[in-house]
Chain A
Amino acid sequence: MSMQTRRSLMLATAAGLAFVATSAAAEPVNLGVSIPAATHSFMGGINYWANQAKKDLEAKHKDLKITIRTAANAVEQANQLQDLSTVTKINALVVFPFESAALTRPVANVKAKGAYVTVVDRGLTDTSAQDAYVAGDNTAFGKIPAEYIAKTLGGKGNVVALRGIPTTLDNERMDAFNGVLKGYPDIKLLDAKYANWNRDDAYKVTQDFLTRFKEIDAFWAADDDMAFGAIRAIDQAGRKDIKVIFGGAGAKDMVKIILDGKDPRIQANVSYSPKFIYESIKLTAEARLKGEKLPATTIIPSVLIDKSNAKDFYFPDSPF
């Protein structure tokens, strides 16, 4: 029996047993998306891709309804989760938790009411509160720049690092970075300071780094927002000793610089695209429409972006 005939047979049966069929097919998915508000570029990207997913997926599946809620803090997000569960009556949830610990209970409550829960990026402290977990690869986010810098400098030189906001995620990246540098005894990490994923802070910290260290070969600004601040300070100081500036997360302006090959110091980046929220919503919605489950953990790989593949990471319409 060919696929076609089998399908038409099934359709016929379904039509004949209309009443039974509606209850037997996977039920319509009422999907809630709960994400932090767009307070910095990366979250702007998360918001953009979440809305993009709503647009694309609702057009594609008529049994799917997506409700997006953005929260300015953990408490607000917890309230919204409650509303999504009791008022909007969602049966699936994709949540990017503001904080891991604070949101664990509220997410567990949503799951207890029968919704399928996918947690994105920042995990929960109790994984039994979730059905699936989708995240970017923070270890690769720290490892790839370290390997690139070590290779480009020929295994010898001085490096400084700008870190994000003190969080486990940032520690994971820094540990991975340090882990690689251990294999290169002639590469010296002069210092690493927090610049809070913020351009202004990065600018100031970089100025002070430049005052403090006379010879710097490479800058690792662990996010493109910080890299932009660092570039300004380096250019203003007129320092020519810096050979590599490595950002992270593949912001569109940074990817454009790599594509254009305009700045010899900026030849590579590492992907950590906010697009993973799009993937998470898509994977969750499509699995639930079929009544299926997602693997317990899905890691969206972070890969090296350089001139050869930069065009695949360039999204000019995204705010990030």
Chain B
Amino acid sequence: MSQPEAAQRAEARAREATTPLGDRIAAFGPIIGLVLLCAAGAMLNSDFATLDNALNVLTRTAFIGIIAVGMCFVIILGGIDLSVGSMAALIAGCVILFINWASGAFGSPLLAVIGGAALAVVLGGVFGLLHGILIAKGRIEPFIVTLGTLGIYRAYLTYFADGGALTLDNALADLYAPVYYGSFLGVPIPVWVFLLVALLGALILNRTIFGRHVQAIGSNETVARYAAVDVERVKILTYMLLGLCVGIATLLYVPRLGSASPTTGLLWELEAIAAVIVGGAALKGGHGSITGTVIGAILLSVISNILNLTSLISVYLNAAVQGFVIITVAFLQKGRR
């Protein structure tokens, strides 16, 4: 009993010692992948390398990217969240219902939209808190908790939407639209928010005690407990952080189409997890970087962008190409796992 534990501890120590260098090496895999993909894209279609296309791709990456930053924390912690797509859909639905109702009740459409945006973040935080409590205090596997809520959230959205779509009233949609369609210094708002969330995420992960604790728990929970880390509290906060990220992503998503339907956010959880893993994190926890995650998320959108810009291969094979690239990039950095 004590021998494997000691070995585990030694391994964890060794891993911790190499983390900073490891992280730097890890970032190369996705960067190489992204550069190769972009070169291919530019060769296949001259419009690929235009600023407009780059901004389109970055803007649409923002949702998954922001969620992936939160997911990165959860995966480093050694956890998982399968519910983020359903959660985003339900939050979007609730925000739309709220804004439509509030514009009449408050008498001010602007106030309603601001309230709706705030509600998105609050709901995300509450859902995340709920996951954290169930996982940390209730001691249920994160896989099971979030598998459960995956179904619950989407079912409630379908119920609220009566099986159809919830749609923002036209005037309100116009008022809210700049949050997605507007830009600052020529760069769309969602890209700025994505950048901000990523910077904050990197700061929290690498420069705060909380970040250290997340990594320590992911490396070895028992050791972290011995080291007097408040494991429960850190876990709850981590899931809450992801919830907040989902809330922020949804806040940006709602003005894009002004509608939420039961297909909203379908498979986002897998895209976010793929972004984190392609970005060099270990699914079993302990390792991961925000830079890698951001590049991973961009890489995934670039693939579908290139496929849309060309008609090289049969459209039936789009998903296969995505799969091949994910596996290749993961292979490029397998050395450190």
A contact set with B: CB distance below 8 Å? 37-41, 43-45, 47-48, 163, 166, 191, 193-194, 198-200, 203-205, 207-209, 211-212, 225, 228-229, 232, 236, 253, 318-320
Report yes or no: A229 in contact with B257, Cβ–Cβ below 8 A.
yes
- Give the CA-CA distance A212 to B50 in the complex, in Å: 11
Report yes or no: A209 in contact with B259, Cβ–Cβ below 8 A.
no
Q: Is the C-beta of B206 less than 8 angstroms from some C-beta in chain A?
A: no
B305 shortest CB reach to chain A, Å? 6
Q: Is the C-beta of B316 less than 8 angstroms from some C-beta in chain A?
A: yes
Q: Report B252-301 residues with CB < 8 Å from chain A CB.
A: 256-257, 259, 261-264, 266
- Give the CA-CA distance A205 to B165 in the complex, in Å: 20
6 example contacts (A-B, Cβ-Cβ < 8 A) are as follows A38-B163, A40-B262, A41-B163, A41-B165, A44-B163, A212-B45
Report yes or no: A37 in contact with B257, Cβ–Cβ below 8 A.
no
- Give the CA-CA distance A318 to B53 in the complex, in Å: 38
Q: What are the residues of chain B within 8 A of A203 when measuring CB–CB?
A: 256-257
Partner of A43, one of B163, B264, B315: B163
Q: What are the residues of chain B within 8 A of A232 when measuring CB–CB?
A: 256-257
Q: What are the residues of chain A within 8 A of B167 when measuring CB–CB?
A: 253
Report yes or no: A39 in contact with B158, Cβ–Cβ below 8 A.
yes
Q: What are the residues of chain A within 8 A of B259 when measuring CB–CB?
A: 199, 228
Q: Is the C-beta of B15 less than 8 angstroms from some C-beta in chain A?
A: no
- Give the CA-CA distance A232 to B263 in the complex, in Å: 17
- Give the CA-CA distance A191 to B261 in the complex, in Å: 27
Give the 7 A-B residue pairs with the shortest CB-CB distance, closest first: A319-B164, A44-B163, A38-B163, A208-B308, A44-B164, A319-B162, A39-B262
Closest to B318 in A: A194
Report yes or no: A211 in contact with B164, Cβ–Cβ below 8 A.
no
- Give the CA-CA distance A193 to B266 in the complex, in Å: 19
Report yes or no: A225 in contact with B308, Cβ–Cβ below 8 A.
no
Contacts A200-B257, A208-B308, A229-B257; A47 near B163 (Cβ below 8 A): yes
Contacts A40-B262, A232-B257; A193 near B315 (Cβ below 8 A): yes
Closest to A43 in B: B163
Closest to A252 in B: B164
Q: Is the C-beta of B195 less than 8 angstroms from some C-beta in chain A?
A: no
Partner of B315, one of A194, A236, A253: A194
Q: Is the C-beta of B309 less than 8 angstroms from some C-beta in chain A?
A: yes
Q: Is the C-beta of B5 less than 8 angstroms from some C-beta in chain A?
A: no
Q: Is the C-beta of B52 less than 8 angstroms from some C-beta in chain A?
A: yes
- Give the CA-CA distance A318 to B316 in the complex, in Å: 33
Report yes or no: A208 in contact with B305, Cβ–Cβ below 8 A.
yes
Report yes or no: A44 in contact with B162, Cβ–Cβ below 8 A.
yes
Q: Is the C-beta of B331 less than 8 angstroms from some C-beta in chain A?
A: no
- Give the CA-CA distance A314 to B305 in the complex, in Å: 36
Q: What are the residues of chain A within 8 A of B52 when measuring CB–CB?
A: 211
Report yes or no: A208 in contact with B309, Cβ–Cβ below 8 A.
yes
Report yes or no: A225 in contact with B261, Cβ–Cβ below 8 A.
yes
- Give the CA-CA distance A41 to B165 in the complex, in Å: 6
- Give the CA-CA distance A319 to B160 in the complex, in Å: 11
B contact set with A: CB distance below 8 Å? 45, 47, 50, 52-53, 56, 60, 158, 161-165, 167, 181, 256-257, 259, 261-264, 266, 304-305, 308-309, 311, 315-316, 318
Closest to A196 in B: B263
Report yes or no: A319 in contact with B161, Cβ–Cβ below 8 A.
yes
Q: What are the residues of chain A within 8 A of B315 when measuring CB–CB?
A: 163, 166, 193-194
- Give the CA-CA distance A70 to B50 in the complex, in Å: 47
Report yes or no: B262 in contact with A38, Cβ–Cβ below 8 A.
yes
A159 shortest CB reach to chain B, Å? 15
The residue in B262, B304, B308 that gathers the most chain A C-beta atoms within 10 A of its C-beta is B308
- Give the CA-CA distance A199 to B167 in the complex, in Å: 12
Q: What are the residues of chain A within 8 A of B311 when measuring CB–CB?
A: 191
- Give the CA-CA distance A44 to B262 in the complex, in Å: 9
Q: What are the residues of chain A within 8 A of B309 when measuring CB–CB?
A: 208, 211-212
- Give the CA-CA distance A204 to B301 in the complex, in Å: 10
Report yes or no: B164 in contact with A320, Cβ–Cβ below 8 A.
yes
Q: What are the residues of chain B within 8 A of A229 when measuring CB–CB?
A: 257
- Give the CA-CA distance A225 to B165 in the complex, in Å: 9
Q: What are the residues of chain B within 8 A of A212 when measuring CB–CB?
A: 45, 47, 308-309
Closest to B48 in A: A211
Q: What are the residues of chain B within 8 A of A204 when measuring CB–CB?
A: 60, 304-305, 308
Partner of A45, one of B164, B305, B318: B164
B122 shortest CB reach to chain A, Å? 24
Closest to B306 in A: A208
Partner of B56, one of A44, A194, A199, A207: A207
Report yes or no: B261 in contact with A40, Cβ–Cβ below 8 A.
yes
Report yes or no: A198 in contact with B263, Cβ–Cβ below 8 A.
yes
Q: What are the residues of chain A within 8 A of B266 when measuring CB–CB?
A: 198
Report yes or no: A41 in contact with B261, Cβ–Cβ below 8 A.
yes
- Give the CA-CA distance A260 to B223 in the complex, in Å: 67
- Give the CA-CA distance A318 to B50 in the complex, in Å: 43
Q: What are the residues of chain B within 8 A of A47 when measuring CB–CB?
A: 163
- Give the CA-CA distance A203 to B165 in the complex, in Å: 16
Q: What are the residues of chain A within 8 A of B304 when measuring CB–CB?
A: 204
Report yes or no: A319 in contact with B308, Cβ–Cβ below 8 A.
no
Q: What are the residues of chain B within 8 A of A193 when measuring CB–CB?
A: 308, 315
B39 shortest CB reach to chain A, Å? 18
Closest to A198 in B: B263
Q: What are the residues of chain B within 8 A of A194 when measuring CB–CB?
A: 315, 318
Closest to B304 in A: A204
Report yes or no: A38 in contact with B305, Cβ–Cβ below 8 A.
no
Partner of B308, one of A43, A209, A228: A209
B133 shortest CB reach to chain A, Å? 28
Q: What are the residues of chain B within 8 A of A166 when measuring CB–CB?
A: 315-316
Partner of B164, one of A41, A198, A199, A205: A41
Contacts A44-B161, A45-B164, A205-B308; A199 near B181 (Cβ below 8 A): no
